[in-house]
Amino acid sequence: MLRIAVWAVGFMLIGVVVYLGSKLFNGQHQQTGMELIMETVTGDAFWKAVLVGLLAQTVDGALGMAYGITSTSFLLATGSSPAVASASVHIAEVFTTGVSGISHVKLGNVNRSLFLRLLIPGILGASAGAWVVSSVDSSIIKPVVSAYLFLMGLYIVSKVFKKITPRKETPKHVAKLGLFGGFVDAVGGGGWGPVVTTTLVGTGQDPRTTIGSVNLAEFFLTFTSAAVFAGLVEEGPWPTVAGLVVGGLFAAPFAAFLTRRLNTKTLLMLVGGVISCISLYNLHRALG
């Protein structure tokens, strides 16, 4: 089944490349496609985005979270509107999550049962969230989610100082968790990794296979979200999108390798610490 998932990721990535390429070279531009490419790779925005994509994907691939938060913060800082920033990050994440997911499969970081139980509910949750976000203010949901993640992060860190007993069996209520995680990701502009990874690791699941499984499922979730944002492609800051993709592609295999090499306690400390800090920051912004 994982082999089928890997092939599906590959074909879907090729489809996205063909689609975006057709829009680039056949769109109504005054410049040729090659001129647009040269202008992109010689601009400051592209190389700044490469660095951000490199750092964001290293964190996301190794910890299973924080790519969207890091990248979106950068885009908003450059003056992008929230809608365009979200569209750019989701489009870029199609590539980064795809390569990250394949890397985790190749390195044996994916639990097939966990992946399958997250997949469909996650996609359904993301679809529902995309519909709800148009009518409900996401600022109402963000403080609640941030507070929950902050407490979960502290709980995970506390497990570093306790005897760790990894569980080999698949945890319960995974479908509900995937549904909620996908919903939060769409409504809040990110959160699939923090919600799902944090909850599963916090209940005693193996960090390595949990992170790998969550990353692979995230690709299909992101692909669905990117399809919703396809109408915003013409407005997107393409140099930034391209930079995020390039930086993320280089970082994804390294992040998967890092996940395989770090021991359980180190991963717990990193996951818990990163989630607590990011969630506290988000909670401060949401309430401020």
* pLDDT tens sequence across 15-36: 777 776 666 566 555 555 566 6
Name the residue range of residue 53's domain.
Answer: 2-287
Q: What is the DSSP string of 214-242?
A: HHHHHHHHHHHHHHHGGGGGGGS-HHHHH
- What are the pLDDT digits (tens) for 54-106? 877 777 766 656 777 777 766 666 666 666 677 778 788 888 788 888 888 88
Looking at every residue in the chain, the average pLDDT score rounds to 76
**Total number of domains constituting the chain:** 1
pLDDT for residue 120: 93
Q: Which of 142, 145, 158 is nearest to 272 (CA)?
A: 158
Torsion region of 206: left, alpha or beta (phi above 0 gives left; psi -120 to 50 gives alpha): beta
> Between 195 and 117, where is the model more confident?
117
Torsion region of 204: left, alpha or beta (phi above 0 gives left; psi -120 to 50 gives alpha): left
Angle between helices 67-77 and 44-63 (to 10 degrees): 160
**Residue 167, φ and ψ in degrees, nearest 5:** -110, 130
Asked whether the beta carbons of 36 and 129 are under 8 A apart, the reply is no
Asked whether the beta carbons of 177 and 193 are under 8 A apart, the reply is no
CA 2 to chain centre: 20
Torsion of Cα atoms, 223 then 96 then 186 then 110, to 10°: 90
Torsion of Cα atoms, 265 then 268 then 271 then 277, to 10°: -100
Q: Of the given ranges (59-63, 175-179, 216-220, 253-257), which has the lowest mean pLDDT?
A: 59-63
Tokens of 73: 């913060």
Asked whether the beta carbons of 259 and 208 are under 8 A apart, the reply is yes
Q: Give every CB contact of residue 49 below 8 A, 6+ residues apart in sequence.
A: 74, 239, 240, 241, 242, 243, 244, 247
